[in-house]
Copies of this chain bind each other. A is one copy, B any other.
Amino acid sequence: MSKKYVYLFNEGNSEMRELLGGKGANLAEMTNIGLPVPPGLTITTEACNEYYVQNEQLPAGLEEELKKNLKVVEQTIGKKLGDRENPLLVSVRSGAKISMPGMMDTILNLGLNDDTVEGMAAATENRRFAMDCYRRFIQMFGDVAMGVNADLFENALAKLREAEGVQHDHQLSAEALEGLIETYKAIYKEGTGDEFPQEPEKQLLLAVMAVFRSWNSDRAIYYRKANKIPDSLGTAVNVQCMVFGNMGNDCGTGVAFTRNPSTGEKGLFGEYLINAQGEDVVAGIRTPQPIASLEQDMPDVYAQFLNIASTLEKHYHDMQDMEFTVERGKLFMLQTRNGKRTAAAAVRAAVEMVEEGLIDKEEALMRLDPLQINQLLHPAIDPKAKITAVAEGLPASPGAACGKCVFDADTAEEMGKKGEKVVLIRTETTPEDIHGMVQAQGILTSHGGMTSHAAVLARGMGVPCVCGAEALKIDAEAKQAVIAGETLKENDIVSIDGATGRIFLGEVPMTSAAMDENFEKYLGWADDVRVLGVRANADNPTDAQKARDFGAQGIGLTRTEHMFMEVDRLPAVQEMIMADTVDGRKAALEKLLPMQKGDFYGILKVMAGFPVTIRFLDPPLHEFLPNKEDLLVEITTLKCTGGDPEEIAEKEELMKKVEALSEFNPMLGHRGCRLGITYPEIYEMQARAVFGACADLAKEGVEAIPEVEIPLVAHINEFHRLRAIVDQVAEEVMADQNVKFNYTVGTMVEVPRAALTTDELAVEADFFSFGTNDLTQTTFGFSRDDAEGKFLHSYVEQKVLPISPFVSLDEKGVGKLMNIAIEGARDVKPDFLIGICGEHGGDPDSIDLCHRLGLDFVSCSPYRVPIARLAAAQAAINEKRK
């Protein structure tokens, strides 16, 4: 009750992001370091949360407190809200702890009414300008604060233009606008049932509540979910004296970065518009000027701005993203924040800031979201390809993309979810398009600049994007676009290069991603800091090589079943399965042996000197046979239509085997080491293949470090028996080939019982690796195949679970089990080698947990290796900082 809900800008600082939101905290900070910030105040996020606790009522006392503080602002600026002579106008903006660009509502020019508009006309000596501000305010207030249909205002405006015979809004006269204001007020009354409020204080309270409500708008909720932002943060509200960039040609507004957000290159980077309001730049309606031109247009302002930019970067020790407005030649800073940047920019800026002495290496390592590295690994258009672009736009988000044209977000989402590659083409994007943007391979717009909605979002998501390609004429209704005389229809193929802005018809040759010098240096620092080892999962020499190129320190998982699935091997695998005797199976396995040996030889050779974990056959055998239901339909059809009896008999024979192998719950069925126990000849063949390869390599002088891994062990007796087979084969091969090689034998820990009994397993095993996908399935009792389609989505939606446990490790449950497993093993052997393989191994949050649990390594797909290297470093730094 005695809580302070309102802070003047000079009462806050940049540490108070939680309470004042990012924008409010930074406005306070800028105010306090003496930068030209229009005065104002911030209503806290706590007030927002309290608003929701009290069923959308403003907390008691807030109104009083707001009034009191507003008085101080009025005194500072020498204007008064509602004062006809010298009216104060304010902007009302949202500002959460974590920036949600364009996600929330803003109301400008608040304070105007029938009275003050006249005062403003007099003060500015520009009646038309005052009227225009007023009509904009009614429109924005009606739409944003009161939910009046925005189209009604737009239609009235269009009608007026028509009636007046003008093309553009700025051609409308003050008188025409006065008429429009009356029309708008009528629309407002029609839409809300109330007169448009003439009392500025009432306007303000309504606007504050509108901002609070916008925290729970669909698009804000969607954005938070997509970005893992907690709902509990709430938004602050910033109430700030208006300054005008649209009062003439000595006015303007712009945004700029202290470094290039695409490349990281040092130097002012941004855009501005003369005689415009801030929203015009962000919305991408007019294409703005590069910031460098400001030096010609307003040399003093430019010099001052350069100076402020440098001050801010040094003050915040990070690249800044700033908004400014020039009102009649005077510069005002409206916002600063740490700038969003591409991964490449983040890496370069971080490396250079270390070299400039602005930050240290650990700080540099914390500057990049590991998942952003994905961007660096994006393909690019092959520079050697002889291809010609049909048009060019702005290079808004790097990476090349190729896909089917789609012209609306819904279709993009639908096709994308089906796994189709699409490029979303829009005049400009709005927050309503996000669900389609996340599913697209690339984004292409005809309007808007490097800081437009599409550009900002695409960079954040790592999706290639070309903006402002004005040569592109889009007819979204007809689902087509014309470019350089060619018509692009839905499903036509288009390619874009987000690094250069070029647009191509059809598919073009691409090269895979490469890492540059800065990146190598940066990851080198990560390697120095991290404690966790990073390995990759690879089933063949090509992937193994890629893993090495990305810096993997070994292979943490080689799945041998992928090898069984290959076309030339499947017949032998099926022969083995159909055999009714051990001898029959052995004969078939004999055929597979040389091929398997070749597989292992190749991988072990690429990984010479690095360990390679080879997991023995894991999936149930029926996965190698035809689908039961298909077969059932075939047989029934053959029977009904009098098919060849021999064919029927043959299929029925196959059906018998399929049925014998079919399972109610294959995930918990006859697979993994259970196959090894019932068909020891399979694992024996695999052991022979591994050690045969080792023997050959030993003779060549290549150091192979195989780690044989027995999957799905639940009981020490399983491991005991199968290890005995492996050891015996190793001994035989060494004796036969008269050669020595090293190997170890370990197990997956992927069912809870294994985790609970590592004190027994570790006595006989040399290592284990968590199979957290299966461990998550069995710990939760979730079949991933079923859960994701049936209920997991709605669990996350309804917040029963904060995130799918298949994406980030569940610390409380699965993590607890892992901890039991680790303690059990290390009690027996303090240096027992423990890793994790599978998708969690490439997820930064899961990597952080793995670090805290004391694992030796994570293993992930080769492309995730750089991500894991950085995430592991951040985990180490996080721990140190705690």
- What residues of chain A have their CB less than 8 Å away from a CB belonging to chain B? 628-629, 632-633, 636-637, 640-641, 663-670, 674, 677-678, 712, 714-715, 717-718, 721, 750-753, 756-757, 760, 774, 777-783, 785-787, 790-791, 794-795, 798-801, 810, 812-814, 816-817, 820
Are A817 and B781 interface neighbours, CB within 8 A? no
Query: How many angstroms between the C-alpha atoms of A721 and B670 in the bound complex?
Result: 36
Find chain B residues with CB under 8 A from A753 CB: 779-781, 810, 813-814
Partner of A667, one of B640, B664, B756, B790: B664
Query: How many angstroms between the C-alpha atoms of A666 and B715 in the bound complex?
Result: 24
Are B801 and A715 interface neighbours, CB within 8 A? yes
CB distance from A138 to the nearest CB of B (A): 41
Residue of B whose beta carbon sits closest to that of A760:
B812
Find chain B residues with CB under 8 A from A794 CB: 677-678
Query: How many angstroms between the C-alpha atoms of A273 and B606 in the bound complex?
Result: 83
Given contacts A632-B632, A636-B640, A670-B790, contact A757 B714 (CB under 8 A): no
Partner of A786, one of B665, B678, B780: B665
Residue of B whose beta carbon sits closest to that of A634:
B636
Residue of B whose beta carbon sits closest to that of A667:
B665
Are A813 and B780 interface neighbours, CB within 8 A? no
Are A717 and B678 interface neighbours, CB within 8 A? no
Query: How many angstroms between the C-alpha atoms of A111 and B155 in the bound complex?
Result: 122
Copies of the chain in the assembly: 2
Looking at A665, A787, A798, the one whose CB has the most chain B CB atoms below 10 A away is A665
- Name the 9 nearest CB pairs between A and B, nearest first: A640-B640, A751-B781, A668-B783, A665-B783, A753-B813, A669-B786, A670-B790, A636-B636, A752-B752
Find chain B residues with CB under 8 A from A633 CB: 632, 636
Find chain B residues with CB under 8 A from A752 CB: 752, 778-779, 781, 813, 817
Query: How many angstroms between the C-alpha atoms of A790 and B670 in the bound complex?
Result: 7
Are A782 and B817 interface neighbours, CB within 8 A? no
Are B640 and A717 interface neighbours, CB within 8 A? no
Find chain B residues with CB under 8 A from A750 CB: 781
Find chain B residues with CB under 8 A from A783 CB: 663-669
Given contacts A667-B664, A669-B787, A814-B753, contact A714 B677 (CB under 8 A): no
Query: How many angstroms between the C-alpha atoms of A810 and B716 in the bound complex?
Result: 13
CB distance from A793 to the nearest CB of B (A): 10
Partner of A668, one of B781, B810, B816: B781
Are B751 and A780 interface neighbours, CB within 8 A? yes
Are A780 and B714 interface neighbours, CB within 8 A? yes
Are B663 and A717 interface neighbours, CB within 8 A? no
Residue of B whose beta carbon sits closest to that of A718:
B800
Residue of B whose beta carbon sits closest to that of A795:
B677
Find chain B residues with CB under 8 A from A717 CB: 799-801
Find chain B residues with CB under 8 A from A780 CB: 714-715, 751, 753
Partner of A664, one of B778, B785, B812, B817: B785
A selection of 22 A-B contacts at a CB cut-off of 8 Å is A632-B633, A636-B636, A636-B640, A663-B783, A663-B785, A664-B665, A664-B783, A664-B785, A665-B783, A667-B668, A668-B668, A668-B781, A668-B783, A670-B790, A715-B800, A717-B799, A718-B800, A752-B778, A752-B781, A753-B779, A753-B780, A778-B778
